[in-house]
Amino acid sequence: MTDAGSQDFDALLQRHRGIVHKVAGSYASSREDRADLAQEIAARLWQAWPSYDPARPFATWMYRIALNTGISFLRGHARRQARVVPLDSCIDSLVDDTALDPETHERIQILERFMQAQGPLDRALLVLYLEAHSGRDIADILGIGESNVTTRINRLKQRLRAFVAR
């Protein structure tokens, strides 16, 4: 790869590094695991860089690779550890709880517990949905149909309502 191609990759990775941090925080619990996963995501992005089509949005391409890497990490980690990955570190890194009123803090904790109970694909859907990505963008990122995204999100909303009502 040319130096210019490497510089383009570095610049885009820096501009969108929040995606790597969000995905790593959503799929790994410990600081060490988050760092390992972030490094693995960056390595996979670099390996896939020659196949990136500049006609498509970089963030969509990046999310697809990052989420697939996160899902693979979670599956492998679950097999090794047989545990659910808590998302408190992800939420904590995105929200300063000291600045939140008690009701908002409680809602975030409920959402965190709900997300912990979801499988890898549904967790990915929630992360993207909560970031206000369109159904089409989510479908592109996850490689599933747009109608499947809509159906799964509606089911997740129903499950969340039932979860909150418990």
Round to whole Å and give the CA distance between 139 and 48: 20
Question: Is the pLDDT assigned to residue 62 strictly greater than 90?
Answer: yes
Q: Mean pLDDT score of the chain, rounded to an integer?
A: 82
Per-domain residue ranges for the chain?
3-165
Minimum mean pLDDT range among 52-61, 108-117, 135-144 = 108-117
Q: Tell me the mean pLDDT in the region 61-85.
A: 73
Q: 111-127 b/e with 16+ CB inside 10 Å = b?
A: bbebbeebebebbbbbb
Place of tokens 């697939």: 68
Can you give the pLDDT at residue 148? 94
Can you give the pLDDT at residue 132? 85
* Tally of residues, the chain: 166
Can you give the pLDDT at residue 107? 84
Q: Tell me the mean pLDDT in the region 78-96.
A: 46
State pLDDT tens for residues 22-60: 888 888 878 888 899 999 999 999 999 999 999 989 999
CA 93 centroid distance within chain: 13
Can you give the pLDDT at residue 146? 93
Question: Is the pLDDT assigned to residue 100 strictly greater than 90?
Answer: no
